[in-house]
Amino acid sequence: MPYQARLRATDEQLFAVGTGQRFIVHAIYFANTTSSLRRVRLHHCTQGRASGNENALFYDVAIAANGTLIDSTRFPMYEGDALRGMADAAGVTFTLHGTFA
C-alpha cells in the first residue's frame, strides 16, 4: 500500500494508524524534485505525541538536488501512531510503503 504526500516547510501529519489497526512500514522514500539540496525531518509519534528530538527518525537529513533517499527498515506502527514530517522548502515528495496487519 503506497501513501504519498508533498512535504511542506511546517511540521504536519503525513500518515496515521486508525483505531483498531496496526501497520507495518516496509520502506520510506524521499524524492527531491528540485535543483537544490533540501533537508527533511520525519518523526514517529506514538500515542498522539508531538514531534520532538526523542521520536525523530530523520532530522535535517540532506537530500541532494534531484536525489532520492530510501530507507527499507521495517517497523510496526500501532493504533494512534503517526508519521509527521517537513522539509526546509517545497519540492520533496514523501512515499510510504507498508501493509496493514
What domains, with CATH codes, occur in the chain?
A: 2-100 (2.60.120)
5 in Cβ contact with 101 (< 8 Å) = no
E strands, the chain, in order: 2-6, 12-16, 22-32, 38-45, 56-63, 68-71, 75-78, 82-87, 92-100
Band of residue 2 on the pLDDT scale cut at 50, 70, 90: confident
Instruction: Tell the residue number behind the cell numbers 538536488, with chain if given.
Output: 65
Instruction: Say whether pLDDT at 1 is over 90.
Output: no
Q: pLDDT of 28-78, one tens digit each? A: 999 999 999 999 999 999 988 999 999 999 999 999 999 999 999 999 999
Q: Among residues 2, 7, 16, 20, which one has the least CA distance to residue 91?
A: 7
